[in-house]
Amino acid sequence: MENLRKAFVEELRERSGLTTLLISKIGLITSLILPVLILLFLGFVPLVNHVLYVAAFFAMIFLLLKLNIGIAARLFLSSTLPIIILFISIYNKILAKVNPELMNPINYFDARYLLFITLVVPLVVLNIKERAVFFLGITIPICAVIFFDPIHEFFDVGYFQMGMRSDDYYFSANLYTVVAMSFIFGALIIMKYRSEIAEEWVFRRNFMTSFYYDNIIKFANLISIKDGNIENTYQKACQIISEALSVSRVSIWNFDERKSLLICQCLFQEGKFNEADPVLYKNQFKGYFNNLLTNKSFTVHQIDEDIPFQNLKNNYLIPHKIKSKLDSVIRVEGNEIGVIFVEDSFEKRNWDNEEMIFLRSISDLISSSFEFKKMITLQNQLSKVNKQIDELNTGLEQKIKQNTLQLELKNTALSSFASKHVKEFNSQMAMLKSKVDQIDESNTENNNQVISEISEVILNLDLITKRQNESITEFEDK
């Protein structure tokens, strides 16, 4: 929180510097243009010198800002402006001593009004959060208004020293001025203070929202979430939550299947991991369990407040010295699977919406880790099935190739065999025809010899046919 306040003050200082720069630019440009207009329409009058002094004043502020001396520039603007007005007021009255025609009683009032206006400058360029600088910046304008008459009297140009006469001068000039200054300046300071409080609240909310968002992104980018590593995800979640919310204890608990108890899976306490807490049973904390299962979160801002579950207070919060507690349920596909416990033993916490939203976001990311784990499991199963299919396809393809090769070998062998037997068969058929042609009806002895040879050829043909059939059967069996 201290760093947050410093960051806010730094932002206020930067904005005040920009405002001072804008005022210096406007004042410098105006005080350079105004003498030219006076010379054109009125000729040279003493007012020209006064305006040039003011131009030098704004030029000095601009130079300080360019030299990155912002605080000096803002103090110079707040403190020197009333001094310049006092100087011009006293200088004019000294001139009036030489030339009484320049003397006018109203000069003792209009200078006061201008000094009164300079009280607004510190409220514009200074910040109440910078208390030392702020009070230093308003001291000279206030003193210039309050000690207006003593300062003039010191230089022998006081109201009565210049020959003026009025019975109620001090009363009308000083009392009214002080009363008006107190009322208006006090109201402006209150408005300034309330404005800075509102700005700090907005700044804090924006800063914390950005801070929590960065931590959510940091957690979302963890490899363990995308890998479905639940144990590592739990540990990282506890660490990030503890650092982001600045609490003493963060733990993550899982429900059993019947949601009858909570089992602590991870406990991060005071900057280190500790042994897990005992189991919490539903029959002991029935009201608390029912609340978790029907709501997204459970909040205890302060242990002293009248929380609805006294058994939780007496049997868990007080023994663990927990002063504040914030829980968030982890849901996966609408089913409650666990709870994040955020607990602080250091101080009583008023949990704001940003802290609750941050914790809810972490819970949702943990749910995503379970979904990633399920997806990875399904992908692994699918990869296994695809591998088996690939193996089957590879085996089938190999078997087809093998059968094709065997068939080709059979065809080759069968072709070779058929060619051989065809030659033998044709040879025997040619021999048979030759023997038939040798039959001579007139020669009986010769015919008997030929018939005997024809019978032998027919027997050979029968043997060739049997061998061919046996070989074909053998090929088919293979």
Per-residue model confidence as pLDDT tens digits over 234-290: 899 999 999 999 899 999 999 998 889 999 999 999 888 888 767 888 888 888 888
What sign does the CA torsion over 261, 265, 271, 277 have?
Answer: positive
Residue type, 325: K
Residue type, 438: Q
Question: Which tens digits make up the pLDDT trace of 170-220?
Answer: 777 777 777 877 888 888 889 989 998 998 888 888 888 888 889 888 888
Query: Of 154, 93, 157, 87, nearest to 115 (Cα)?
Result: 87
What is the pLDDT at residue 139?
A: 92
Question: Facing residues of 340 across strands?
Answer: 252, 328
The three-point CA angle 190-191-196 to 5° equals: 100
Highest CATH level, class, for 225-377: alpha beta
CB 401 within 8 A of CB 254: no
What is the pLDDT at residue 250?
A: 93
- Taking 60 as the threshold, does the pLDDT of residue 31 lie above it? yes
Question: Which tens digits make up the pLDDT trace of 187-201?
Answer: 888 998 999 899 888
Q: How confident is the model at residue 340 (pLDDT cuts 50, 70, 90)?
A: very high
What is the pLDDT at residue 240?
A: 93
- Taking 90 as the threshold, does the pLDDT of residue 302 lie above it? no
User: For residues 257 and 235, what is the distance between their CA atoms, to the nearest angstrom?
Assistant: 22
Question: Which tens digits make up the pLDDT trace of 108-137?
Answer: 888 888 888 888 899 899 998 888 999 999
User: Can you list the alpha helix ranges (DSSP code H) found in 320-443?
Assistant: 353-437
User: For residues 135 and 79, what is the distance between their CA atoms, to the nearest angstrom?
Assistant: 11
Query: Of 236, 212, 214, 256, nearest to 366 (Cα)?
Result: 236
What is the pLDDT at residue 268?
A: 93
Query: Can you give the pTM of this predicted structure?
Result: 0.63
**Percent of the chain whose predicted confidence (pLDDT) is above 90:** 10
What is the pLDDT at residue 146?
A: 85
Exposed, middle or buried by CB within 10 Å (0-12, 13-18, 19+), for 192?
Answer: middle
Query: How many residues can be counted in the chain?
Result: 478
